[in-house]
Structure 1
Amino acid sequence: MFSLSTTRAHCLRRTYTSPISPRGRPWRFQPPRRHATATAIPTGATENTATVEPTEFLSDIPESGFIDIKPNEGLLFFDNVYPVLSAFLDSRFIPLRLDRLSSAEKLLKHTIPPTSPIKITQVIPRIKDGGAFIKYTRPQNLTDRDVERQMQDLLTTQKIKPWYSPFGQVRCFLVQGQPWLEDLQRFPATRIKVEFDGGPDIPAEELYTTFRRFGRLVDINPLPKDSKELPRYAYLTFWKIRSATAARNCLHDLKIKTPDGKETQLRILYSPVVKAHTIRKWILDHPKIVLPILAALIAAFAIAVFDPIRTFFVRAHITHSLDFGSKAWTWFKGAASTYLILSKKPGTDTSGDLSVLWQERKETVETLKSWLLESSETFIVVQGPRGSGKRDLVLGDVLKDWKHTLIFDCEPVQDGHGDAQIIRAAAAQVGYRPVFGWLNSINSWVDLAVQGTLGTAAGLSETLETQFTKILQNTATALKQVALSHRLKSDKDSFLNDDEWLEAHPEHRPVVVIDNFLHRSDPAGEKIYQRLSDWSALLVSANVAHVIFMTNDVSFSKHLSRSLPDRVFRTVMLGDASPEAAKRYVLSQIHSGTIPEKSQETDQLDSSIDQLGGRLTDLEFLARRIKTGEAPAQAVSEIVKTSANEILKLYFLGDPSKRSYTKEQAWALIRMFGENGTGKDQLRYNEVLLHGLFSKNGEEALQALEQAEFITIVSADGRPWAIKPGKPVYRAAFKKLQNDQVLQAKLDIDVATELTKTETANVAKYEAELTTLAQLPSKPSEIYGRVSWLLKKLQASQVKIEQYEKEIAGLKKVLQTQF
């Protein structure tokens, strides 16, 4: 772009030679040092002058920016000489010698031959518009149209193509108007605004005829006739931007005569199509397309950036590479052990010598260790009631020498309230970080707003299952990296691929321990358990890790078989310790690991342990109370009392709608365990189902009570055959509850009331059928047997109702006389 600055101190040196100069060199066109503007050739110069002396910058152009044309002079506009500039590419960024690489040299060398009768007097580059003006003088016998026609014929023959536009060529047009040479921040556009000055509007047909020769027109938009806007104008849109630049430079200030004899002068300006906020508007108008793409981009960014970081932290959690295990920490633990109780790792001995208790389970420990060293798939389940020592057995004995273990405790995950807390708890179990729980909450709100507006969700938020699956996927990647970290290039089997190497080296696989599996049953928990099962099955099938499930639920096979339907689980069932082992364990803890000889103190424990049973948690509680100075009988009495209060709180109080059983069913079992004044160790499973309270949905209620650890169902030969208390200490706790006469009377009233309701419903059913039979028009003899059976059933139910009412009346007296 050239400048029409009033500063005239800048002079440019430009050298012209004829196409065939005396020195034999082609006619070259030297560009200006700053802005290419104009080069003047003295009027008296001849066609074959060798060198033209420099002239003053735009000396022949007035400061108004218009080119002075004399009667014998004309002006041509050569198009496609330079690249067209825009607001993003000003002439300041054009190389100083751009025109040496452009078509200017070819223009002056080939377009106007030496034999041409015209003579160039001035060259005015228009870099911004991508062209150049050539001012010439012509003989009297030639018209400007003749000159234009000759130049166009030559360009058609030569087909001069610039280097920057291989599919375009230089074009030439006669300048009919008076071009305005401005250097404003106005850049070429395909649309031009044609203002009508000093006359009526030019019809669209006339505009088409005038402007069509510069290139294809796309549209003509004249100003409405009823518009009061002045000056009047019309918009012309060209197919190509160079057509618009040629039209503006050739027709600006052109005067057109109208049919009524008046003249209208054309003022032509570039008018870029302003599309304000086009991108933003398109995004807002197409949310169904943009939002899924945005979600995909965010997900891709998160995977590319955060997944490697999360995998690193999970791996560090497994290998403990970031743990604070320095000498300073070891010194601090030793110095502070006198004043502080520092927590130990799960599975470590916390109160005594567990070898006394686990001596009878030594075979189980060895079996588990041998399973972990087998190359086949290891899907192990350790099942036992709560407090039976599963965690200490697995982590303290089986895995104490295993290098890499990962413990996933389902209890804190299940106890989380809301998706965000559940995800944070799951991430904490495996060391998965960073976790952006707040981001998913924001995405949920966005999805809700979009769904309310468009009717469909944007898909930005992720469900609990999706987030939980991501955590497990990153954990699986970290586990495989840990397993393969033991592989060396110098190994004999280095030629094996990763999968073959993992299968051949089970000793290097990490062990994943899933504790408290099936801790609590609810819809959200079922999905988490199923995801864990599927994930564990993949780890085992791919030989990435060994997996050990620890659960209290006896129905674990129903959940795990969905993930591995064609595999047999290796199962270890843990029960309570035998009375002798339980006794030796308590004594070893009381006496700091040493077991005293048989004495009066050991004899006093026999009756206490008979009531308490072999549950590890209860034995530890007993040992701690005895160490504080309590007698064994007193300690057991307190434990039984605590258990009785626990039973009341868990199984009889609270919201009954959250239970799949009734408190009357639980109390009926307690009464059955304490029949005839002596506590039973177990009940017949089918005998319990014959009780009136278990006549409907009895098996579902028993399974719910087992899930709540109120009872334990014992199976044999594939079928349930006995029912035991959920904990051994519950036998004594049941008896203590029955000794509370007020509590017993209240719950017995509830049981009798429920049974009365059942029998009353039976009586109503029998009476309805008898009424139907009585309404028959004839009394066939075949119905007499049915009527007799119904009458006997009705009488039996009535007798039970009367019996229950008498029982309720007697129990109410207890409530009225005792506290």
Structure 2
Amino acid sequence: MISRQFLSRPMARHGHGPLVRYRLPVLSSQPTRLAQRWKSNIGTDQSGHIEAKENESIIFVDNLFPLKLSSLLLWRPWKSQHDLPKLIQRFETSMGIFDPMGMVKRAIPSSLPMEITEIIPRTKEGGAYVKFTYPPDKSGAEIQAQLAKTLEEQPIKPWFSPFRPITSGLVLGRPWLEDLYRLPKSRLRVEFVPAKNSEQPEELSQEALYSIFRRYGWIADITSQPPDSKVLPKYAYVDFVLVKDAIMARNCLHGFVLQEEGSKIATKLRLSYEQRVKAHNIWKWLSSHPRIVLPVVAALLATFTVIVFDPIREFFVKHHVQKSLEFTDSRLYKWLKRQTSDILSLYKKHGQDGGLNALFSHRKDLIDSIKSSLLESVASFVVIHGPRGSGGKELIMDQVLEGRKDVLVLDCKSIVEARGEAGIIRKLAFQVGYRPVFSWGNNVSNLVDLAIQSTTGVKAGFSENLESQVVKILQTTATALKEVSLAGRKKDDQDAALSDEAYLEAHPERRAVVVIDNFLHKAEEKGIIYDKISDWAAALVQSNAAHVVFLTTDTSFSKPLTKSLPDRVFHQVTLGDLSPEVAKHFVVSQLENGHRREEKEAKANDKNENIEKALAKTDKEHRQDLQELDECIEALGGRLTDLQVLARRLKVGQSPKKAVSDIIEQSASEILRMFLLTGNKTNDGVDKKWSTEQAWYLIKEIAKNDSLKYNEVLLANTFASSTTPAATNPEAALEALANTELITVKSQHGRPATIRAGKPVYLAAFARLLEDPVVKARMDLALLTELAKIEAKNIDKAEQELGLLAGLPNAPTQAAPRVNYLLAKLQASQKKIEGFEKEMGNLKKTLAEES
């Protein structure tokens, strides 16, 4: 029990707490002299405490300052501890009735027998300590009770709190005027410490704490220290409903000493504000169920991305296809280009145009065929197939699609050659105009997903694999392409009632065009990319959203395309090499343009005194070049890239024979480096599907016969019985060599029939390689070595079977024919090996003699 002396002390009414009232004697009406002494707010003698002398008490008056601004007042807005009292003093002269100290004067009536000696403001707690003296025949409790009654009958409400009046309470303890950054809270930590240097007191019961603190306001809960806790000093938590009640209790009871009945140990209460730890039930449930929460969070993030970013990305893809954001398509640029066309025109461009015009005139029928297919409503692919350098891209972009706006070019080469998955995503997004793209975010998501999976055992699904991200980019592009194709549709059209797909089917000329260049480039490494591109292209043509044109050099293009669009026939165009007449016309047109440029430069040079002699010399050299050109075109062939290289060499002054010889020499070196002197991998690091011996066999035989029969090559020992593990499939080896353009496989009635050199210049390069004795001896030695190994394997098989037959009991006569066959085969293989070794000996001598 608590001493009755404490329970009998009157307290101010706070909240709905009980109020002990005592009838007081009538006091004299002597006026009270209110004195103010602005001192430091850290207590008497800078000790942090307020000391009350004899016949002197302290009351705490609250609701003088806005409690919500306490955090701002504490964030060190004052340079020193003396600035705050000075600031409050200025309030007294400027704010009038709103002055906090003025409200203290109004709250204390002059009829009370008290004299105020000091007022100490507590801004962070919204109140002030008022120290006063009283007559010897009175007590501080009696005066505070009368003051509380006066404030209840005549409430004083500050301007910032019109609904809550000022209240007061008698300070029973020893206030601690700390200036720490500790904001008032509704929870008080009540520590039980010894009153003096005595034994550790026991903690008060919840009933005792309730009787002490309830008079200051509603109490939400009282929490005692856990019984097994060894923390000293002992403590308990008192949770008030309102912060103001906790402030009043803390300022009135801090340092209060009490002694329960029957106990010899006095207990001092040490009070401090405590941040209440809220029960985060929602977060606790989320953190304890990661297998449910993480997939849901991933789904929400994906939904947010679709809602926010997808419309932005569709906008950029749409304008990338329409090229509406490019400066070269603006009216200002076109006007400047028209005004300065004579100044900015370059002769090089005209020379190239002249040669390409000759090529395009030769392929006019193909151009008209492709244009007509883009005006048909048949939903199918247009496939332009031809070897590298056949001018397929120039044919499509400069002739078929010239002047067409809605064209999207997708270069598969730059996509599949990008480094890592992030690079592939970035390149694909850049080519279709898909932005913003967070390609780096995939690596971060993979790390997060891996960390979550290692800790929870379940994959969160934050990361997306390459396949899903490619599909997402292509789907967004498909939506934008459909909007582009429908951009010219008007509400007052005759067929306005048709659906979007029906409208596009009826107007194929309005569809956008997608050009997929370098299709199946490095298809062995990035097959999944080409599968997704094929499926995307099939969806475009089936929904009539766009026309799709494939440009490829791979002979196996029909496999992935047929898989994506199995019920349609492709519009296939095969580009071959130019005929000798067209090839000559192409080279001559570029040479004539170069000749005209030299004439213009000579005439424009005023300092040249021998212009006519220079022009005559140029004409003579030009005629000599044309005479040699007829002899060189046949050796060079009709490949467009080779003809362009020849034209450039002729422009710099080389003769046709010298230029063609250099081109053949360069091609021979290229073949030697790529096919004959490499290991089991190509220059790109991919495993080869052919052997060096197979490549040399084809080079040697094509140089002799110009063309080979396809099935005859399959039956050759080098292909049918190759000792190289990666080259055991002869058809796969020939297909791989055709894709690398060492050879070209010609078909007849849909089946492979003949094998030729990959480029016309390669035929001359093959012959050049055979003329080199060192190369020929080295490659023949490797070929004969493999043939000898093949025959040795045949001998081993025959010997094994003969051994089995010899082990049969009584030597049956029925096995005699088989034994004779095996002996004859063994003898024939042995003779071949002897012949091979004899030739190998001669080749070794050649290698030893030649340098």
TM-score, reference length from structure 2:
0.68
Partner amino acid for 1:389? G
Partner residue, 1:272: 275
What SS does the corresponding residue of 1:562 show, helix, strand or coil?
helix
Partner residue, 2:323: 320
Partner Cα separation in structure 1 for residue 104 and residue 192 of structure 2: 27
Q: Deviations over 1:694-744 (max 9, x none)?
A: 113111111111111111222333432222221122222222222223321
1:249 to 1:367, Cα distance in 2 relative to 1, 3 A: same
What SS does the corresponding residue of 1:63 show, helix, strand or coil?
strand
Partner residue, 1:811: 843
Which range moved further: 613-622 or 451-460? Answer: 451-460
Residue 545 of structure 1 deviates from its aligned partner by: 1.8
Residue 233 of structure 1 deviates from its aligned partner by: 3.2
1:96 matched to 2:96? The reply is: no
Q: Deviations over 1:93-148 (max 9, x none)?
A: x9937444xxx7xxxxxxxxxxxxxxxxxx7538xxxxxx8xxxxxxxxxxxxxxx
Partner residue, 1:793: 825
Partner residue, 2:571: 570
Partner Cα separation in structure 2 for residue 513 and residue 277 of structure 1: 57
Residue 800 of structure 1 deviates from its aligned partner by: 1.7
Of 606, 609, 615, the residue aligned with 2:639 is: 615
The answer (yes or no) to whether the contact 1:2–1:37 under 8 Å persists in 2 is: no
Partner Cα separation in structure 2 for residue 624 and residue 72 of structure 1: 110
Partner Cα separation in structure 2 for residue 328 and residue 564 of structure 1: 46
Partner residue, 2:698: 669
Residue 361 of structure 1 deviates from its aligned partner by: 3.2
Partner Cα separation in structure 2 for residue 68 and residue 368 of structure 1: 108
1:661 to 1:10, Cα distance in 2 relative to 1, 3 A: closer
In the TM superposition, 1:101-500 aligns within 5 A as 124-125=166-167, 186-190=183-187, 192-196=189-193, 198=195, 200-202=201-203, 204=205, 217=221, 219-221=223-225, 229=232, 232-236=233-237, 238=239, 245=246, 248=249, 252=253, 253=256, 255=258, 257-260=260-263, 264=267, 266-273=269-276, 311-321=314-324, 322-324=326-328, 325-329=333-337, 334-337=342-345, 350-432=352-434, 463-500=465-502
The answer (yes or no) to whether the contact 1:664–1:751 under 8 Å persists in 2 is: yes
The answer (yes or no) to whether the contact 2:384–2:550 under 8 Å persists in 1 is: yes
Partner amino acid for 1:558? K
The answer (yes or no) to whether the contact 1:2–1:183 under 8 Å persists in 2 is: no
Residue 211 of structure 1 deviates from its aligned partner by: 8.0
Q: Deviations over 1:347-387 (max 9, x none)?
A: x9825254543445333222211221223424211111222
1:292 to 1:654, Cα distance in 2 relative to 1, 3 A: farther
What SS does the corresponding residue of 2:534 show, helix, strand or coil?
helix
Identity between Structure 1 and Structure 2 (%)? 41
Partner residue, 1:730: 762
Structure 2: tracts of 5 or more residues without a match: 1-61, 66-83, 113-117, 121-127, 134-138, 150-156, 596-622, 682-686, 721-727
1:787 to 1:256, Cα distance in 2 relative to 1, 3 A: farther
Residue 765 of structure 1 deviates from its aligned partner by: 2.5
Q: Deviations over 1:232-283 (max 9, x none)?
A: 3322365966898599589945845244465545455442246999999999
What SS does the corresponding residue of 2:753 show, helix, strand or coil?
strand
Partner residue, 1:63: 130
The answer (yes or no) to whether the contact 1:65–1:181 under 8 Å persists in 2 is: no
TM-score, reference length from structure 1:
0.70
C-alpha RMSD of the superposition: 5.0
1:638 to 1:241, Cα distance in 2 relative to 1, 3 A: same
Residue 802 of structure 1 deviates from its aligned partner by: 1.3
* Higher RCO (CA < 8 A, seq sep 6+): 2
Partner residue, 1:162: none
Residue 399 of structure 1 deviates from its aligned partner by: 1.0
What SS does the corresponding residue of 2:731 show, helix, strand or coil?
helix
Partner amino acid for 1:615? R
The answer (yes or no) to whether the contact 2:519–2:552 under 8 Å persists in 1 is: yes
Residue 503 of structure 1 deviates from its aligned partner by: 3.4
Partner Cα separation in structure 2 for residue 669 and residue 408 of structure 1: 35
Q: Deviations over 1:334-359 (max 9, x none)?
A: 42546x85xx6xxx982525454344
Q: Deviations over 1:579-620 (max 9, x none)?
A: 4443444444444599xxxx9998865654443333222333
Partner residue, 2:604: none
Partner Cα separation in structure 2 for residue 398 and residue 62 of structure 1: 93
Q: Deviations over 1:666-690 (max 9, x none)?
A: 1111222244xxx33x221111111
In the TM superposition, 1:43-62 aligns within 5 A as none
Partner amino acid for 1:2? N
1:179 to 1:568, Cα distance in 2 relative to 1, 3 A: farther
Of 660, 678, 684, the residue aligned with 1:654 is: 678
Which range moved further: 209-218 or 359-368? Answer: 209-218
1:562 to 1:191, Cα distance in 2 relative to 1, 3 A: farther
Partner Cα separation in structure 1 for residue 90 and residue 593 of structure 2: 107
1:640 matched to 2:664? The reply is: yes
The answer (yes or no) to whether the contact 2:351–2:594 under 8 Å persists in 1 is: no
1:531 to 1:449, Cα distance in 2 relative to 1, 3 A: same
Partner residue, 2:54: none
Partner residue, 2:617: none
Partner residue, 1:688: 713
What SS does the corresponding residue of 1:200 show, helix, strand or coil?
coil
Aligned length: 688
1:260 to 1:557, Cα distance in 2 relative to 1, 3 A: same
Residue 530 of structure 1 deviates from its aligned partner by: 2.2
Which range moved further: 738-747 or 428-437? Answer: 428-437
1:271 to 1:750, Cα distance in 2 relative to 1, 3 A: same
The answer (yes or no) to whether the contact 1:38–1:125 under 8 Å persists in 2 is: no
Partner amino acid for 1:236? Y
Bigger proportion of residues as helix: 2
1:70 to 1:600, Cα distance in 2 relative to 1, 3 A: closer
The answer (yes or no) to whether the contact 2:184–2:247 under 8 Å persists in 1 is: no
Partner Cα separation in structure 2 for residue 237 and residue 209 of structure 1: 9
Partner residue, 1:749: 781
The answer (yes or no) to whether the contact 1:248–1:269 under 8 Å persists in 2 is: no
The answer (yes or no) to whether the contact 2:257–2:266 under 8 Å persists in 1 is: no
Partner amino acid for 1:516? N
1:648 to 1:8, Cα distance in 2 relative to 1, 3 A: closer
Partner Cα separation in structure 2 for residue 97 and residue 561 of structure 1: 80
Partner residue, 1:147: none
Partner Cα separation in structure 2 for residue 97 and residue 815 of structure 1: 107
What SS does the corresponding residue of 1:530 show, helix, strand or coil?
helix
What SS does the corresponding residue of 1:553 show, helix, strand or coil?
coil
Q: Deviations over 1:428-468 (max 9, x none)?
A: 43344565555656666666777788787776666544554
What SS does the corresponding residue of 1:714 show, helix, strand or coil?
strand
Which range moved further: 622-631 or 386-395? Answer: 622-631
Which range moved further: 489-498 or 289-298? Answer: 289-298
What SS does the corresponding residue of 1:768 show, helix, strand or coil?
helix
Structure 1: tracts of 5 or more residues without a match: 13-30, 46-55, 78-93, 105-122, 127-132, 134-174
1:264 to 1:517, Cα distance in 2 relative to 1, 3 A: same
Partner Cα separation in structure 1 for residue 109 and residue 587 of structure 2: 122
What SS does the corresponding residue of 2:837 show, helix, strand or coil?
helix
What SS does the corresponding residue of 1:561 show, helix, strand or coil?
helix
Partner Cα separation in structure 1 for residue 579 and residue 278 of structure 2: 86
What SS does the corresponding residue of 1:407 show, helix, strand or coil?
strand
1:268 to 1:760, Cα distance in 2 relative to 1, 3 A: same
